[in-house]
Amino acid sequence: MGSTSAHNDREGVGRRDLIKRSAALGLITVPTMGFLSACASGDSGGDEKVDKGKKTKENPLAVNESAPLEIVIFDGGFGTQYAEDAKAVYEKNFPKAKVKFSSTQKIQSVLQPRFNQGTPPDLIDNSGAEQMDMGVLVGKKQLADLTPLLDAPSIDDPAKKVRDTLRPGIVEMGQFDGDPVWIMYYAYTVYGVWYSQKALDGLDAEYPETWDDMLAVCAKAKKKGIAGWTYAGKYPYYVPFSLYPMIAKVGGREVLDAIDNLEPNAWKHPAVKTCFEAYYELYKKGYILKGTPGLDHIQSQTAWTEGKALFIPNGSWVENEAAKTMPKDFDLAVNAPSGIDSSDKMPFGTIWASGGEPFIVPAKAKNSEGGMEQLRIMLGEASSKNFTSSVKSLTAFNGGTDGIELTPGLKSGVAALDKAGDNVVNPRIQDWYVALQKEKIGVGGLGEMMAGRLTPVEAIKKIQGYADEAAKDDSIQHYKHQ
Amino acid sequence: MQHGKYRFIVGFLTAPLAIYGLFVIWPFIQSIYYSFTDWSGLSPEFKMVGFKNYTRLLDDEVFWKSLQHSVMLVVLLPLVTLTMALFFAFMLNVGGRRRKNAAIAGVRGSAFYKVVYFFPQVLSIAIVALLFQFAYNPNSGAINSFLKAIGLESVQPDWLGDPDLALWCIFAVLVWCTVGFFVVLFSAGMASIPKDYYEAALLDGANRITTFFRITLPLLWDTVQSGWAYVGILALGAESFAVVQIMTVGPGGPDYSTTVLPLYVYQKAFRDGQAAYATTIGVALLFVTLLFVAVVMKLGRRERLEY
């Protein structure tokens, strides 16, 4: 049609039309392109912080009373109710402030673009499978130093600093190199060997303190058709929850520190080999639930609550996470990992406990004082108690369990912590080198060994190789124990 | 008579070309640009680092593993899928016994089979992957339960938990959900081949195999070739990513046995905060894709047959 309907007198106009059209198109395209590249790495927006408020006794962080506050919470095993309750307190204290609260399971998808644009929210619970890499955030100076919060008076007792009300290890966990504290871990997780006290009683057995006893209990269970152990086969990085503290118990804390520091031959320590061989024996003697390497964490927990296996390495969130399938009379309990024998360097009771649910205040947050104030509220006794009683987990606040009726798992976790005393270890490889810990050591090394496809010696060699690689890799930030 | 022809063509082409340029070409250029930076994806600041990401790529064991798996998929998936689809389509349309009134026909019940084959195509790939994840569960999954039911109690593989099997498990799912589409596509192609050819061949005493290789395949070649490129790109990109990401939940299967290029791009960009390195892997993926299409076009070139 075009070729027949065109008239001679319009010939010239056509060409001009074309130019006009392409110019118009250019006009649309250029800003659109600008917009697109802003999406990828915008440098717009950003540093317009709100003015500070007046510093008073009630308001030690000098929060601007009328400034809006934005909170984003990870909606995971702990839900969001606890954070909403704390938000209500903030709203009560600062009635003029507009608080925007949202929750998501996909922290990274939701927040990564906002970090890129320089307009992040004021307080984030950076947790879950889609956690943003803390090392990168710190390395790129995207986080605010939380030291003012730690030095502020606590909400319950103005004579005490927030820092002095926290459980041991919490402040250190929020540091990377040097003094600034980048992360406030809110939950307090007890890792270890989880089991049903009822099932153990049914076998007429006690929780084993040495490995020989452990094998004896597993043999007893096997006779009754119960597997000794199961674990999250597709995520074998759950195995370290009991294996790492066992290594510390057998060889001393320094072994784990050397591993965290990526020192050469850290994994070649005899204690590591002893513990690997102990776990490998579980496989060789057939004490691991059949099919375990193909199960994910939920499937393995379900098999365990159904009584198909006795022990599972896990963290204290399991009580909430497995609540649906756990029988009423399960009598959940946790214990520190069994050692080898009495020649171990640390006593029985040595356990892994550390912070969970990392809260951060972005460096570019508009209302960072508000974000920190919200954390100060959450770290008070009332909010902490509310958290513990509703989601069955401890918080970073030291105490806050008085007067609450503790669930069996929580009670046993508190008892395990009491028993451990100072013998609490905290392997940092888990939060310093996520990829190394989870997929290389976890899936590539431990997972293969527990499935019987690598011997302990081969597994150690492979893992040492991974660790050396990570130590050399300058695309990741390296950290050392202070 | 030609007046305004170009104006007409250009007028119609500018808008789509501009959109294509903006949303397809421009992001490509952008990614290539970012592959020379140290952008983390978590902050707006970055600087140029030259070829550092590329030299790192050469030493990256996981990258080579992903590449190997992606190449394996791109070679084998079209081969298996298209061979099966051709076979099924031939049987459904031509391969049946001779019946009254019709010289050529499909096997009995072919209309029903067509629906059955096409069915997986209706399901979202995410649903398919989830369903098969349950089926592969070594403890209570359908496959091992079936093995148990027929008395094979001793054969209870870990499926997705076994590095030797995991990739093949995924391969099977990919075949399962792509074959049906090509059965229907090839059936449509075969329907347009004149029946006289088959009748003449039958009169000459040709059997089914000869008919297939001498008549059906040559006349269907164009369709097969585009199908080849299409499955290959599915195998390199979207489908393999979705299936691997959902089914082998860990970091790409036990011991990296199922990791593929698009998954590795995703992990580097959205888990490890190394967006620049991810774009570098993306550039590598771009080259593999272009190479694949070039090979298909080159190998597939045949004389055009007209009928």
Q: Can you tell me the ipTM of this complex?
A: 0.72
Mean pLDDT over B273-295 rounds to 91
- Chain B positions touching A290 (Cβ under 8 A) are 138-139, 156
Q: How confident is the model at residue A33 (pLDDT cuts 50, 70, 90)?
A: very low
Q: What is the DSSP string of A309-348?
A: EEEEEEETTHHHHTTTTS-TT--EEEEPPPBSSTT-SS-T
Q: How confident is the model at residue A100 (pLDDT cuts 50, 70, 90)?
A: very high
Dist. CA A293–CA A289, nearest whole Å: 9
Q: Which of B39, B137, B251 sits opposite A41 (nearest CB)?
A: B39
Who has greater pLDDT, B125 or B109?
B125
B197: contact with A, CB 8 A cutoff:
no
Residue in B61, B139, B140 to test binding to A, most A beta-carbons within 10 Å: B139
Q: How confident is the model at residue B174 (pLDDT cuts 50, 70, 90)?
A: very high
Amino acid at A459: A
Which span out of A50-64, A129-143, A267-281 was modeled with the highest average pLDDT? Answer: A267-281
C-beta of residue A252 within 8 angstroms of C-beta of residue A432: no
- Chain B positions touching A438 (Cβ under 8 A) are 251
Residue of A nearest to B253 (CA): A234
Dist. CA B279–CA B269, nearest whole Å: 8
Who has greater pLDDT, B109 or B15?
B15
What are the tens digits of pLDDT across the range B224-274? 988 988 899 888 887 889 899 888 766 677 888 899 999 999 988 888 888
pLDDT in the model for residue B160 = 87
Residue of B nearest to A233 (CA): B161
Residue A31 has pLDDT above 60, yes or no: no
What are the tens digits of pLDDT across the range A425-455? 999 998 888 889 988 999 889 999 999 999 9
When mean pLDDT is compared across A10-24, A118-132, B116-130, B138-152, the lowest value belongs to A10-24
Contact flag B56-A2 (C-beta cutoff 8 Å)? no
B148: contact with A, CB 8 A cutoff:
no
Q: A32 is written with which tokens?
A: 């659109």
- Chain B positions touching A451 (Cβ under 8 A) are 158, 161-162, 254
Query: What is the three-class DSSP state of B38?
Result: coil
- Residue A185 backbone phi and psi in degrees, to 5: -75, 125
pLDDT in the model for residue B7 = 85
B42: contact with A, CB 8 A cutoff:
yes
A130: contact with B, CB 8 A cutoff:
yes
Q: What angle do CA A320, A200, A249 make, to 5 degrees?
A: 80
C-beta of residue A63 within 8 angstroms of C-beta of residue A370: yes
Which 8-state DSSP code applies to residue B159?
G
- Chain A positions touching B161 (Cβ under 8 A) are 233-234, 291-295, 451
B54: contact with A, CB 8 A cutoff:
no
Residue B2 has pLDDT above 80, yes or no: no
B138: contact with A, CB 8 A cutoff:
yes
Residue of A nearest to B43 (CA): A116
Contact flag A41-B8 (C-beta cutoff 8 Å)? no
Q: B180 is written with which tokens?
A: 């049906």
pLDDT in the model for residue A35 = 44
Cα dihedral A20, A22, A28, A34, rounded to 10, equals -140
B237: contact with A, CB 8 A cutoff:
no
Contact flag A1-B1 (C-beta cutoff 8 Å)? no
Distance, first Cα to last Cα, chain A: 79
A-facing residues of B in 255-294 (CB < 8 A) are: 255-256, 270-274, 277
pLDDT in the model for residue A76 = 81
- The strand pair at A184-196 and A332-335 is best described as antiparallel
Q: Which of B14, B156, B250 sits opposite A234 (nearest CB)?
A: B250
C-beta of residue A35 within 8 angstroms of C-beta of residue A64: no
pLDDT in the model for residue A34 = 43
- Chain B positions touching A117 (Cβ under 8 A) are 44
Distance, first Cα to last Cα, chain B: 33
Dist. CA A458–CA A74, nearest whole Å: 39
B249: contact with A, CB 8 A cutoff:
yes
Dist. CA A411–CA A407, nearest whole Å: 6
Contact flag A293-B255 (C-beta cutoff 8 Å)? no
| Dihedral sign of CA atoms A320, A326, A327, A329 in order | negative
B121: contact with A, CB 8 A cutoff:
no
Dist. CA A319–CA A316, nearest whole Å: 6
- Chain B positions touching A7 (Cβ under 8 A) are 3
Dist. CA B77–CA B55, nearest whole Å: 30
Integer angstrom CA distances of residue B224 from A410, B55, B217, B231: 62, 38, 8, 10
What is the average pLDDT score of chain B? 86
B135: contact with A, CB 8 A cutoff:
no
Residue of B nearest to A230 (CA): B139
Query: What is the three-class DSSP state of B293?
Result: helix
Contact flag B250-A439 (C-beta cutoff 8 Å)? yes
When mean pLDDT is compared across A191-195, A202-206, B46-50, the lowest value belongs to B46-50
What are the tens digits of pLDDT across the range A251-264? 999 999 999 999 99
Contact flag A294-B159 (C-beta cutoff 8 Å)? yes
- Residue A476 backbone phi and psi in degrees, to 5: -115, 150
- Chain B positions touching A41 (Cβ under 8 A) are 34, 39, 44, 46
Residue A41 has pLDDT above 50, yes or no: no
C-beta of residue A337 within 8 angstroms of C-beta of residue A251: no
Reduced DSSP (H G I as helix, E B as strand, rest coil) percent helix, strand, coil of chain B, to 5: 70, 0, 25
B3: contact with A, CB 8 A cutoff:
yes
Dist. CA A477–CA B2, nearest whole Å: 66
- Chain A positions touching B5 (Cβ under 8 A) are 2-3, 6
Dist. CA A429–CA A258, nearest whole Å: 10
Residue of B nearest to A8 (CA): B3
Q: Which of B8, B42, B160 sits opposite A132 (nearest CB)?
A: B42
Contact flag A43-B26 (C-beta cutoff 8 Å)? no
To the nearest whole Å, the CA of B113 is away from the closest chain A CA by: 33
| Chain Cα centroid distance, residue B239 | 7
Contact flag B4-A11 (C-beta cutoff 8 Å)? yes
Who has greater pLDDT, A221 or A390?
A221
Contact flag A29-B22 (C-beta cutoff 8 Å)? yes
Dist. CA A126–CA A120, nearest whole Å: 12
C-beta of residue A205 within 8 angstroms of C-beta of residue A220: yes
Residue A289 has pLDDT above 90, yes or no: yes
When mean pLDDT is compared across A231-240, A246-255, A263-272, the lowest value belongs to A231-240
B136: contact with A, CB 8 A cutoff:
yes
Query: What is the three-class DSSP state of B43?
Result: coil
Q: What angle do CA A451, B171, B258 make, to 5 degrees?
A: 45
- Chain A positions touching B138 (Cβ under 8 A) are 290-291, 293-295
C-alpha closest to that of B42 among A432, A474, A142, A74: A142
When mean pLDDT is compared across A368-377, A422-431, B133-142, the lowest value belongs to B133-142
- Chain A positions touching B34 (Cβ under 8 A) are 40-41
Residue B37 has pLDDT above 60, yes or no: yes
Mean pLDDT over B197-220 rounds to 86
- Chain A positions touching B147 (Cβ under 8 A) are none
Dist. CA A200–CA A178, nearest whole Å: 46
Integer angstrom CA distances of residue A81 from A42, A389, B158: 34, 12, 39
Contact flag A235-B250 (C-beta cutoff 8 Å)? yes
Q: How confident is the model at residue B101 (pLDDT cuts 50, 70, 90)?
A: low
To the nearest 10 degrees (0 to 180), the angle between helices B5-20 and A11-41 is 0
Q: B237 is written with which tokens?
A: 């990109």
C-beta of residue A318 within 8 angstroms of C-beta of residue A382: no
C-beta of residue B49 within 8 angstroms of C-beta of residue B57: no
Dist. CA B97–CA B117, nearest whole Å: 21
